[in-house]
Structure 1
Amino acid sequence: MRKNLIAIVLLLTACAAKAQSSSTDTVKTNTSATAKDKPATDDNEIYSTVEEQAEFPGGIDEFMNFLYNNVRYPMEDRMAKRGGKVFVQFVIEKNGSLSQFKIIKSVSKTIDQEAIRVIKSSPKWKPAKEKGVIVRQLFTAPFAFSTN
């Protein structure tokens, strides 16, 4: 079990580093307006990357601890030696709550459900900021389930 969660931690660390080094593209793009012409944010816009990333309370280390303490490898998948990476996408709202949970890459129904269960049980996050304004952010969390 510990090996399985270590894989999750390593994968999350790599994804967090990649997300923080990304450019500031948004899910919805508007290239016709300049920064002066365009309002700082659109209330319903969901950003894929931002100037200041949303953050789990306590940072990435606490997020990894949260996953370590809450992820349970479904017994039927463990017994059938089913494993792999499942990617859960969700939105971090302006108030830090999470919404719009979606499986981007599936492993099995029960593993997918476990990944969503854990993300849904997360405490509120520190919301993202773009140009100093709190915005909604799209986030993808990978979970690795290993049969080794």
Structure 2
Amino acid sequence: MMICSILLRKQIKYNLFCGLPEAPDVRFAYFIAFCILWQELPIISRPKTKPMKIFFSICILFLIACASKAQPKATNDTSQIVTIHADSSKMEIESEFPGGPTAWARFLNANLVYPKKAVKKNIEGDVIVQFIVDKEGNVSNVEALSGPELLREAAVKVFQNSPKWKPAFQYGRKVKSYKKQPIKFRLQTA
């Protein structure tokens, strides 16, 4: 009984030294229970063994118990999980006209009608148009924010008649996007 209590104290000291919890390993607890039962057996029924064999057996069991405790164990501790925040500008893809800026310029040249009243009055200028490209690529809520009054209607009409755009993406998903686009109205001199 005395050997078991000494070993238990040494196991607890070893655990504290290694930074482990105070409770000894389960295998070590089985070993202590075996020691207690062994000492309670009558001396007559115990087989005769040499003291050195017992000592070495105890040392080997102690080392096995210590080695199993010293191995790192998986934990569910989430305090060490590092969160990486991605730069949102790298994760976004803006909505655009199918074919890019050159296709948009061709579409404007083919479909933009310069108002006759503006030609007669020799009106030029830039019209800034605000619109929404939804998840499917449809253009909606077209509104002219600035520019000459006569040119605003033509700019809004060309956006309303435009085909579907490529929708914007954010973090791999299609999203609705708000856009502002300038349109330059210039008269050609002959």
TM-score, normalised to structure 2, is 0.49
Answering whether residue 93 of structure 2 is matched by residue 52 of structure 1, we say yes
- Quote the residue 2:181 is aligned against: 141
Correspondence 1:122-137 to 2 at 5 A: 122-137=162-177
Residue 61, structure 1, aligned to residue 102, structure 2: yes
Equivalent residue for 1:115? 155
Q: Distance in 1 between matches of 2:119 and 2:93?
A: 38
User: Within 1, Cα distance between the matches of 2:99 and 2:123?
Assistant: 32
Matches within 5 A, 1:96-111: 96-108=137-149, 110-111=150-151
Aligned counterpart, 1:71 = 112
- Bigger Cα Rg: 2
Quote the RMSD (CA, aligned, Å): 1.5
TM (normalized to structure 1)?
A: 0.63
Cα distance in 1, alignment partners of residues 135 and 158 from structure 2: 20
Structure (1/2) with the larger strand percentage? 1
Alpha-carbon offset, residue 90 of structure 1: 0.1
CA distance in 2, matches of 1:136, 1:89: 14
Higher helix share: 2
Q: Which runs of 4+ in 1 moved over 3 A?
A: none
> 1:17-72 deviations in whole A, cap 9, x for unaligned?
xxxxxxxxxxxxxxxxxxx8xxxxxxxxxxxxx71011211111111100010111
CA shift digits 1:71-114 (9 cap, x unpaired): 11111101101111011100000010011111111212x31110
Structure 2 unaligned runs (5+)? 1-82, 84-90
Structure 1: give runs of 5+ residues left out of the alignment.
Answer: 1-35, 37-49
How many residues were matched structurally? 99
